[in-house]
Amino acid sequence: MVRWWKRESWRSGIRMEQSEKVGFYSLGINVFLVVLKGVLGWLSGSIGLIADAIHSLTDVISSGTVVAGIKLSRRKSKNFPYGLYKVENLVSLVSSILIFLAGYEIIRMVFTRAQRLEQKYIPYAIAGVVCTMGITYFFSRYELREGERLASPALTADAKHIRTDMFSSLVILVGLVGGIFGWGIDKIAGGIVAIIVFKAGAEIFMDAIRVLLDASLDYETLDAVKSIILRDPEVGGIKSLRGRNSGPFKFIEAEIVILARDLEKAHQVSQRIENAIKAEIEHVDRVIIHYEPQQKDIVTYAVPVNRDRSGLAEHFGEAPFFYIVSVKRDDGSIVEEGFFRNPAANEEKGKGIKVSKWLLEKGVDKVFSPKELGGKGPGYVFSNAGVDVIIVAQGKLDEIKNGVQSGVW
C-alpha cells in the first residue's frame, strides 16, 4: 500500500505540473488575442470585433484564475484533509460568471453604440479574424484533450471558453464581409456572439455547480465500480453505492455484504476490492468500503461430550463424542441435532487438528472447549476458518443446550 500511495502521489504531482503548464499557455494566447482583436476592432470600427476583444479579455482573467486554481488545488492541511481539489471547480464557476459578464457587455454595445465601419481597414480585420480562428481552433482542441487526459475541470472549462472565440469569430467574419458590401449586419453579428457566449457560460456553470453540490458520479462510472465489486467471489451483495467528483478526482463509497465469518478476513476482502477499483477506474482519490460479514440464519454449534453424553469432556481432542446442534438465530429453535463419535479420538498424534478439520466439514460456526485453544493446532484451524471458540470449563450438556437456544452463546 505504501508503494502504491507513493506512485499515485508522484503521478498526481505530474498531472498538476502539466495542468499548470497548459494553463500558462492559455494565458499567453488569450493576451495575444485581446491585443489583436482590440487593435483591429478599433481600426475597423467593428462593434462585433470590439465585443469579441472584450470576450477575449475575460478569457485572460479566466485563464489566470485557472492557473491559480491549479496551484491551490495541490494543497492539503488539517482544515482541509480531503484536499482543495474543488478549487478547480470553483474556478470553473468563476469562469462561467465572467462569460456571462462578457455576454452582457456585448449586448450593451450592440444596443448603445453607433455603427461606423472603416472600409479601408476591413480587409485587415478579416485577415486578423481568420488568424484568430485558426489559433483558437487548434489550441482549444489541444487544451480540451489535455484537460480530459489530466481530468482537470478547470482546463476543460477553459478550453470550452476559448472555443467560443472560434464560433464568435466566425460570426464576426460574416459581419465584416457584409460590411464590404455595405450590409449593416455587424450589430447582428455582435448579438449572435452574445448568444453563443451565454450558452457556453450556462454549460460551464451547471457542470461546476453539480460538483460543488456533490452530485453523483455518472452512471457509467458507478456501473463499472459495481461490476468490480460484484465479481469478487467473497461479496454477497451491495447495499449502497455512492460517488462524487472533487476537482479532477473521484471519491467512492460502498456498503457491501462479505461472505466471511470474521472481520479480519472481511477487511482483507475490502482492501482487495479497493485496490481493484483504484487500478481500473481513472482518477480515483479515495475508496471507502463499509462492510459486514454475512449473517447466517442458522448457527451450528459443536460441544465435546464425555461417554455418558451428559457433560462437557475434559479434553477437546480426546472427547469420545461431539454433540452438534443447528439452531435458528432469530428464535433459537433447533433445526437439527445429534451425537457424533470423534473420528480422531484414538489417534496417537494430531488429535486436536484432525478433529478440528472434521468439525469444519460438518459446517460448525461455534465450538465449545474446556480449555483455551489459542497457540495450539485447533486454535489456528478455527481462527483461519472464522469459527468462534467458546471456553466453558465445566457444565452439563443440557445447560449448554439451553444457553444456545436462549442466545446466551
Residues 401 and 365 occupy one common structural domain: yes
How much is the average pLDDT of 223-246? 85
Please name the residues in contact with 181: beta carbons below 8 A apart, sequence gap of 6 or more: none
Q: How many Å apart are CA 154 and CA 285, to the nearest integer?
A: 18
Answer with the residue of higher pLDDT: 344 or 296: 344
Tell me what the mean pLDDT of segment 58-73 comes to: 63
Check: CB of residue 370 under 8 Å from CB of residue 347: no
Do 33 and 73 lie in a common domain?
A: yes
Same domain, yes or no, for 93 and 191?
yes
User: For residue 262, what pLDDT band results from cuts at 50, 70 and 90?
Assistant: low
Q: Which of 212, 234, 259 is the last residue of a domain?
A: 212
Show the cell assigned to 245.
467528483
Task: Confirm whether 392 is domain-assigned.
Answer: yes
The residue among 212, 238, 270 that closes a domain is 212
Q: Residue 264 is part of a domain; what is its CATH number?
A: 3.30.70.1350
How many residues are listed for the chain in this entry?
409
In this prediction the pTM is 0.47
Question: How many Cα atoms sit within 13 Å of 356 on the Cβ side?
Answer: 21
Residues 207 and 115 in one domain: yes
Distance CA 391, CA 366 (A): 11
Give yes or no: residues 161 and 41 share one domain: yes
Which CATH number fits the domain that encloses residue 62?
1.20.1510.10
pLDDT in tens, 27-64: 788 888 888 888 888 888 777 777 777 767 766 766 66
With H, G, I as helix, E, B as strand and everything else as coil, classify residue 339.
strand
Residue 20 lies in a domain: yes
Examine the domain organization and report whether 81 and 137 are in the same domain. yes
b/e code 311-340 from CB counts within 10 Å (16+ = b): bbbeebbbbbbbbbbbbeeeeeeeeeeeee
Work out how many domains the chain is built from and give that number.
Answer: 3
Last residue of one domain, picked from the residues 258, 293, 328? 293
Shared domain check, 154 and 38:
yes
Comparing 111-125, 228-242, 271-285, 359-373, the range with the smallest average pLDDT is 111-125
Q: Are 369 and 321 within one domain?
A: yes
Q: Which domain holds residue 313?
A: 298-406
